[in-house]
Amino acid sequence: MTNFEEKLINYITDNCIEAQHLTFQESCHSVEEAARAVKASPEDLVKNICFIDEQNNLIVAIVKGEDKVDTSKIRKLLNIKKVRPAKPDEILQKTGYICGGVPSFGYEAIYLVDSKVMDKDIVYSGGGSQNALVRISPQELLKANDGQVVDINK
């Protein structure tokens, strides 16, 4: 278990989040790898796509595994002019987690949860490392990150 995973497990415990942390031998970096690891469909996974706005704020767009993010919708929703993908070093600095293992909660960010995510009973999100996932209900995920449910998929 990595320090990143331990930090996330402690966050889940300390904040009484109803979630299950899962660690695997194989990589869960991509949606396909993660789906294989948990024996689920890609639509049961969520991606946490990190963006930076012109004020250097972290925006985390949470979409179902097969979906893409429409940045023009993000700009319009947040009334901002520019948004760009965060670089791996920025992701580590702002979330405290490595790219490919970023969870859907546990650090300061503007969380935007796509409305299609809320249709699921259970989703799997980043678990702190490329070999871990968190199993959580979308409602609990929303409670954990205090995010907004919005339409941000392409």
Strand partners of residue 20: 135
Give the pLDDT confidence score for residue 7 in this predicted structure: 94
> Position of tokens 């993660």?
34
Give the pLDDT confidence score for residue 28 in this predicted structure: 86
Give the pLDDT confidence score for residue 92 in this predicted structure: 95
Strands 19-23 and 58-64: unpaired
User: What is the three-class DSSP state of 26?
Assistant: coil
* Domains, in order of start, for the chain: 3-150 (3.90.960.10)
Strands 46-53 and 58-64: antiparallel
Report which secondary-structure segment, H or E, holds 111. Answer: strand 110-114
**64 Rama class: left (phi>0) / alpha (psi -120 to 50) / beta:** beta
Mean pLDDT, the chain cut into blocks of 10 residues (154 residues total): 90 96 90 90 93 96 94 96 96 93 96 96 94 96 96 93
In one-letter notation, the amino acid at residue 136 is I
Give the pLDDT confidence score for residue 31 in this predicted structure: 87
Quote the pTM value.
0.94
| Separation CA 35–CA 122 (nearest Å) | 13
